[in-house]
């Protein structure tokens, strides 16, 4: 069993490159969101966090830091916990990750694709204008990640949900789940599917999706567990009586459903065009999942 566990970990993460840490260094596990929220608390602290790679950057104004363009490369990323299918979250990039050009990480950095999830270790070298400047010294790639198609499906689904178009939302969400997605993303998809089915009065199906969501996060999300409790006891409280009996007409279904055998692959791309950002005003990967409906 121990051998199987070790092999599982090896498949889940693939080492990109790393530099040895200084002796007696204590690495603190955290999130990019937390570091951005309280950067001064992490000044000089070695941290481990998971991010979603966006694109390379360009150092144009190093201020008083050590991160000079001749010595360091930099890149933009999203926090792993960011719901980047939401336009505001997608546009909230962080571009102050720096890599020494003399390390193996720098050589591998240029081969990363957008949305690649990375487990990184680094140190907050500076805090300037309320932003942490992070030197990355170790990096592992993670297998599970989102892609453009997933972001598009979930974005469209949430747009339909805001309009109370529950069946159209279900149609979009049904194309999004997959084992290649991170667990917290799959959890959000199941949660949205459950809400849609509850609005339509299909509580049994909703409870199944909520059960899947709870299992993915080991039941840690109190909001989902509370939603399941209400779905089991008083599901009628969720019912949208004005639209519960509406049907999705053929012309309202996603266009790609008309192509047999193609499914999601007909719209999937892992490498949407990206532009080179700078640590100033960010230039962001384009297109945004919210730019088209």
Interstrand relation of 13-18 and 131-142 (parallel, antiparallel or unpaired): antiparallel
8 A C-beta contact, residue 118 and residue 77? yes
Judge whether 293 lies within some domain.
Answer: no
Let me know whether 204 and 124 are in one domain: no
Query: Are residue 95 and residue 166 in the same domain, yes or no?
Result: no
Residues 31 and 101 in one domain: yes
pTM of the full structure: 0.75
**Radius of gyration of the chain measured on its C-alpha atoms:** 21
Is 171 part of a structural domain of the chain? yes
Which pair of tokens denotes residue 284?
């962001």
161 and 134, same domain (yes or no)? no
> Same domain, yes or no, for 49 and 97?
yes
Cβ atoms within 10 A of the Cβ of 11, count?
9
Buried b (16+ CB within 10 A) or exposed e, 40-74: eebeebbbebbbbbbbbbebeebeebebeeeebbb
CATH code of the domain covering residue 46: 2.40.50.140
The answer to whether residue 192 sits within a structural domain is yes
pLDDT tens-digit series, residues 92-131: 999 999 999 999 999 889 899 999 999 999 999 999 989 9
What percentage of the chain carries pLDDT values higher than 90? 61
- Say whether both 15 and 138 belong to one domain: yes
Q: Give the dihedral sign, CA 49/55/58/61.
A: negative
Q: Which residue has the tokens 């929220």?
A: 37
My answer on whether 25 and 59 are in the same domain is yes
Q: Return the ∠ at Cα 264 (arms to 141 and 194), rounded to 5°.
A: 85
111 shares its domain with 214: no
Q: Are residues 108 and 212 in the same domain?
A: no
Range of the domain at 175: 148-266
Enumerate the H helices of 163-249 as residue ranges: 166-173, 183-199, 203-216, 222-233
Would you say 32 and 79 are in contact if contact means Cβ atoms under 8 Å apart? Answer: yes
Classify residue 52: in a domain, yes or no.
yes
Bridge partners of 132, per DSSP, are: 127
**Number of domains, the chain:** 2
Q: Are 193 and 112 members of one domain?
A: no
Same domain, 69 and 159: no
| Residue 280: inside a domain | no
> What are 183-225's pLDDT values in tens digits?
999 999 999 999 999 999 999 999 999 999 998 886 568 889 8
DSSP string, 250-281: GGGS-GGGGSTTTGGGGT--S--------SSS
Q: What is the CATH number of the domain that holds 203?
A: 1.25.40.10
In a domain, 286, yes or no: no
> In terms of domains, do 214 and 239 share one?
yes
- Which of the two residues, 267 and 245, has the higher pLDDT score? 245
């Amino acid at each position: 069993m121990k051998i199987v566990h070790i092999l599982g970990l090896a498949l889940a993460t693939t080492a990109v490159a790393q530099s040895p840490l200084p002796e007696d260094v204590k690495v603190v596990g955290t999130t990019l969101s937390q570091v951005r929220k309280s950067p001064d608390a992490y000044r000089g602290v070695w941290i481990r966090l998971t991010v979603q790679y966006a694109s390379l950057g360009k150092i144009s104004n190093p201020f008083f830091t050590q991160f000079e363009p001749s010595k360091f490369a930099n890149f933009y990323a999203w926090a792993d916990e960011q719901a980047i299918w939401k336009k505001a979250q997608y546009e909230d990039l962080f571009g102050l990750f720096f890599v020494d050009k003399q390390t193996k990480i720098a050589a591998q950095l240029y081969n990363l694709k957008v949305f690649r999830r990375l487990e990184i270790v680094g140190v907050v070298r500076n805090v300037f204008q309320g932003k942490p400047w992070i030197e990355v010294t170790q990096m592992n790639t993670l297998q599970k990640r989102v892609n453009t198609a997933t972001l598009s499906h979930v974005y469209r689904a949430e747009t339909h949900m805001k309009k109370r178009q529950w069946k159209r939302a279900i149609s979009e969400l049904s194309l999004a789940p997959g084992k290649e997605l991170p667990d917290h993303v799959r959890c959000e998809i199941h949660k949205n599917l459950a809400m849609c089915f509850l609005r339509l009065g299909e509580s049994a199906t909703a409870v199944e999706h909520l059960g899947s969501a709870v299992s993915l996060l080991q039941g840690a999300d109190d909001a989902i567990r509370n939603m399941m409790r209400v779905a089991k006891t008083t599901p009628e409280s969720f019912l949208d009586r004005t639209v519960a009996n509406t049907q999705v007409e053929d012309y309202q279904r996603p266009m790609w459903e008309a192509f047999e055998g193609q499914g999601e692959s007909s719209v999937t791309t892992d490498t949407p065009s990206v532009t080179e950002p700078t640590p100033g005003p960010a230039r962001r990967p384009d297109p945004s999942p919210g730019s088209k409906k």
